[in-house]
Amino acid sequence: MPSLDPAQRQLGDMDADAFRRHAAAVTELIARYLEDVASRPVVPAVEPGQLRAALPSAPPAEPEPFEALLADFDRLILPNATHWQHPGFLAYFPSNTSGPGILGEYLAAALNVNAMLWRTGPSATELEQVALDWLRQLIGLPEGFMGTINDTASSSTLYALAAAREAAPELRIRQEGLAGRPDIPAMRVYCSEDAHSSVDKAVVTLGLGLSGVWRVPMDDDYRLDVRALERAIASDRARGVRPIAVVATVGTTSTTAIDPVPAIADICERERLWLHVDAAYGGSAAVVPAMRWVMDGTGRADSLVVNPHKWLFTPLDCSALFTRRPDVLRRAFSLTPEYLATSLGDDVLNLMDYGVSLGRRFRALKLWFVLRYFGASGLEARVAEHIRLGQLFREWVDASPAFERLAPAPFSVVVFRWHPPGLDDGAALDAANARLLERVNATGEAFLSHTRAKGRYAIRLAVGNIRTREEHVRRAWELLQELAGE
Amino acid sequence: MPSLDPAQRQLGDMDADAFRRHAAAVTELIARYLEDVASRPVVPAVEPGQLRAALPSAPPAEPEPFEALLADFDRLILPNATHWQHPGFLAYFPSNTSGPGILGEYLAAALNVNAMLWRTGPSATELEQVALDWLRQLIGLPEGFMGTINDTASSSTLYALAAAREAAPELRIRQEGLAGRPDIPAMRVYCSEDAHSSVDKAVVTLGLGLSGVWRVPMDDDYRLDVRALERAIASDRARGVRPIAVVATVGTTSTTAIDPVPAIADICERERLWLHVDAAYGGSAAVVPAMRWVMDGTGRADSLVVNPHKWLFTPLDCSALFTRRPDVLRRAFSLTPEYLATSLGDDVLNLMDYGVSLGRRFRALKLWFVLRYFGASGLEARVAEHIRLGQLFREWVDASPAFERLAPAPFSVVVFRWHPPGLDDGAALDAANARLLERVNATGEAFLSHTRAKGRYAIRLAVGNIRTREEHVRRAWELLQELAGE
Portion 346-375 of B in contact with A at CB < 8 A = 347-349, 356-361, 365-366, 368-369, 371-375
Question: What domain count does chain B have?
Answer: 1
Residue A423 confidence (pLDDT): 86
Q: How many other β-carbons are positioned within 10 Å of the β-carbon of residue A176?
A: 18
- Is the per-residue pLDDT at A338 higher than 90? no
Better-predicted residue by pLDDT, B342 or A283: A283
Residue A258 confidence (pLDDT): 98
Residue B275: inside a domain: yes
Positive or negative torsion for Cα A338, A342, A347, A351: negative
- Nearest chain A residue to B339, by CA: A451
- Cβ–Cβ of A44/B130 closer than 8 Å? no
Choose among A137, A211, A466: nearest Cβ to B175: A211
User: Is the N-terminal amide bond of A17 cis, ω within 30° of 0?
Assistant: no
Q: Residue B135: is it exposed, middle or buried by C-beta count within 10 angstroms (0-12/13-18/19+)?
A: buried
pLDDT average, residue stretch B296-300: 98
- Cβ–Cβ of A84/B376 closer than 8 Å? no
| B451 contacts on A by Cβ (under 8 Å) | 338-339
CA distances from A414 to A67, A95, B2, B163 (A): 44, 17, 41, 38
A323: β partners: A146, A303
Portion 421-480 of A in contact with B at CB < 8 A = 438, 449-452, 460, 466-467, 469
Better-predicted residue by pLDDT, B393 or A348: B393
pLDDT band at A2; cut points 50, 70, 90: confident
Q: How many other β-carbons are positioned within 10 Å of the β-carbon of residue B428?
A: 10
Contact A193, A217 (CB under 8 A): yes
Contact B132, B147 (CB under 8 A): yes
Q: Residue A101: is it exposed, middle or buried by C-beta count within 10 angstroms (0-12/13-18/19+)?
A: buried
Distance CA A36, CA A31 (A): 9
| B442 contacts on A by Cβ (under 8 Å) | none
Distance CA A69, CA B104 (A): 10
Distance CA B242, CA A6 (A): 57
In one letter, which amino acid is A380? E
| B387 contacts on A by Cβ (under 8 Å) | none
List the single best residue of A126, A156, A236, A465 to mutate versus B (max B Cβ within 10 A). A126
- Cβ–Cβ of B153/A119 closer than 8 Å? no
Residue B260: inside a domain: yes
Provide long-range contacts, Cβ within 8 A and 24+ apart, for A44-47: A44/A79, A44/A80, A44/A81, A44/A82, A44/B122, A44/B123, A45/A444, A46/A79, A46/A80, A46/B122, A46/B123
- Nearest chain A residue to B163, by CA: A205
- Nearest chain B residue to A313, by CA: B13
In one letter, which amino acid is A374? F
In one letter, which amino acid is B189? V
pLDDT band at A344; cut points 50, 70, 90: confident
- Cβ–Cβ of B62/A375 closer than 8 Å? yes
List the single best residue of A129, A149, A203, A339 to mutate versus B (max B Cβ within 10 A). A339
Distance CA A312, CA A101 (A): 10
- Is the per-residue pLDDT at A95 higher than 90? yes
Q: How would DSSP label each residue in B266-331?
A: HHHHHHT-EEEEE-TTGGGGGGSGGGGGGGTTGGG-SEEEE-HHHHSS--S--EEEEES-HHHHHH
- Is the per-residue pLDDT at B336 higher than 90? no
Residue B475 confidence (pLDDT): 98
pLDDT average, residue stretch B44-49: 94
Contact B30, B89 (CB under 8 A): no
Which helix (H) or strand (E) segment holds residue A57: the answer is none
How many alpha carbons fall within 13 Å on the CB side of residue B471? 5
**Mode of pairing for the β-strands spanning A456-462 and A413-418:** antiparallel
- Cβ–Cβ of B13/A460 closer than 8 Å? no
- Mean pLDDT of chain A, nearest integer: 96
Q: Smallest CA–CA separation between A384 and chain B, in Å?
A: 10
Residue B198 confidence (pLDDT): 97
- Cβ–Cβ of B27/A19 closer than 8 Å? yes
pLDDT band at B2; cut points 50, 70, 90: confident
Residue B428: inside a domain: no
Distance CA A442, CA A454 (A): 27
Portion 162-221 of B in contact with A at CB < 8 A = 162, 165, 172-182, 184-187, 196-198, 200-212
Residue A339 confidence (pLDDT): 76
- Nearest chain B residue to A99, by CA: B14
Residue B29: inside a domain: no
Residue A355: inside a domain: yes
- Nearest chain A residue to B203, by CA: A177
Residue A347 confidence (pLDDT): 77
Distance CA A36, CA B393 (A): 54
Distance CA A356, CA B199 (A): 10
| pLDDT per position as a tens digit, A125-158 | 999 999 999 999 999 999 999 999 999 999 999 9
Residue B325 confidence (pLDDT): 97
| pLDDT per position as a tens digit, B77-119 | 999 999 999 999 999 999 999 999 999 999 999 999 999 999 9
- Cβ–Cβ of B51/A153 closer than 8 Å? no
pLDDT average, residue stretch A228-253: 98
Residue A486 confidence (pLDDT): 73
- Nearest chain B residue to A10, by CA: B378
Angle at A479 between CA A476 and CA A480, to 5 degrees: 85
- Is the per-residue pLDDT at B442 higher than 80? yes
Contact A453, A460 (CB under 8 A): no
Distance CA A104, CA A128 (A): 13
Give helix A261-271 / helix A226-238 axis angle, nearest 10°: 20
Better-predicted residue by pLDDT, A224 or A340: A224
In one letter, which amino acid is A139? I
- Is the per-residue pLDDT at B344 higher than 90? no
Choose among A26, A34, A126: nearest Cβ to B103: A26
pLDDT band at A343; cut points 50, 70, 90: confident
| pLDDT per position as a tens digit, B409-422 | 999 999 999 998 88
Nearest to A126, CA basis, from A137, A135, A115: A115
- Cβ–Cβ of B66/A96 closer than 8 Å? no
Angle at B384 between CA B380 and CA B385, to 5 degrees: 120
**Mode of pairing for the β-strands spanning A213-216 and A187-192:** parallel
Buried-exposed string A77-93: b where 16+ CB fall within 10 A, e elsewhere: bbbbbbbbbbbbbbbbb
Q: Does this complex have an ipTM over 0.95?
A: yes
Nearest to A364, CA basis, from A120, A158, A143, A107: A107
- Is the per-residue pLDDT at A485 higher than 90? no
- Nearest chain B residue to A204, by CA: B174
- Cβ–Cβ of B81/A124 closer than 8 Å? yes
Contact A246, A267 (CB under 8 A): yes
- Cβ–Cβ of B64/A137 closer than 8 Å? no
| A449 contacts on B by Cβ (under 8 Å) | 339
Q: Residue A117: is it exposed, middle or buried by C-beta count within 10 angstroms (0-12/13-18/19+)?
A: buried
Contact B19, A34 (CB under 8 A): yes
What number of helices (H) and strands (E) belong to chain A? 15, 11
- Cβ–Cβ of A358/B102 closer than 8 Å? no
**Mode of pairing for the β-strands spanning A274-278 and A242-249:** parallel
Q: Smallest CA–CA separation between A325 and chain B, in Å?
A: 18
Distance CA A466, CA A96 (A): 7
In one letter, which amino acid is A377? S
Residue A23: inside a domain: no
Residue B470 confidence (pLDDT): 98
Distance CA B475, CA B481 (A): 10
Q: Does A143 touch chain B (CB under 8 A)?
A: no
- Is the per-residue pLDDT at B340 higher than 90? no
Q: What is the CATH number of the domain that holds B136?
A: 3.40.640.10
Residue A335 confidence (pLDDT): 87
Residue B430 confidence (pLDDT): 96
- Is the per-residue pLDDT at B474 higher than 90? yes
pLDDT band at B209; cut points 50, 70, 90: very high
Distance CA A359, CA A351 (A): 9
Give helix A197-205 / helix B326-333 axis angle, nearest 10°: 120
Distance CA B440, CA B419 (A): 16
Residue A459: inside a domain: no
Q: Smallest CA–CA separation between B471 and chain A, in Å?
A: 14
Q: Does A342 touch chain B (CB under 8 A)?
A: no
| A349 contacts on B by Cβ (under 8 Å) | 48
Q: Does A345 touch chain B (CB under 8 A)?
A: no
Residue A52: inside a domain: no
**3-state secondary structure at position A304:** strand
Contacts of B308 (CB under 8 A, 6+ apart): B135, B284, B314, B318, B319, B320, B367, B370
| A182 contacts on B by Cβ (under 8 Å) | 182
| pLDDT per position as a tens digit, A211-239 | 999 999 999 999 999 999 999 999 999 99
| pLDDT per position as a tens digit, A366-384 | 999 999 999 999 999 999 9
Distance CA B348, CA A416 (A): 28
**3-state secondary structure at position A51:** helix
Q: Does A100 touch chain B (CB under 8 A)?
A: yes
- Is the per-residue pLDDT at B148 higher than 90? yes
In one letter, which amino acid is A273? L
CA distances from A176 to A159, B77, B179, B273 (A): 19, 42, 12, 21
| pLDDT per position as a tens digit, A452-483 | 999 999 999 999 999 999 999 999 999 999 99
Positive or negative torsion for Cα A293, A297, A298, A299: positive
Contacts of B162 (CB under 8 A, 6+ apart): A205, B202, B206, B329, B332, B333
pLDDT average, residue stretch A405-412: 98
pLDDT band at A86; cut points 50, 70, 90: very high
Contacts of A222 (CB under 8 A, 6+ apart): A192, A194, A252, A254, A255, A257, A407, A408, A453, A454
Positive or negative torsion for Cα A438, A439, A444, A447: negative
Domain range for B209 is: 113-361
What number of helices (H) and strands (E) belong to chain B? 15, 11
Share of chain B above pLDDT 70, in %: 99
pTM: 0.97
- Mean pLDDT of chain B, nearest integer: 96
- Is the per-residue pLDDT at A255 higher than 90? yes
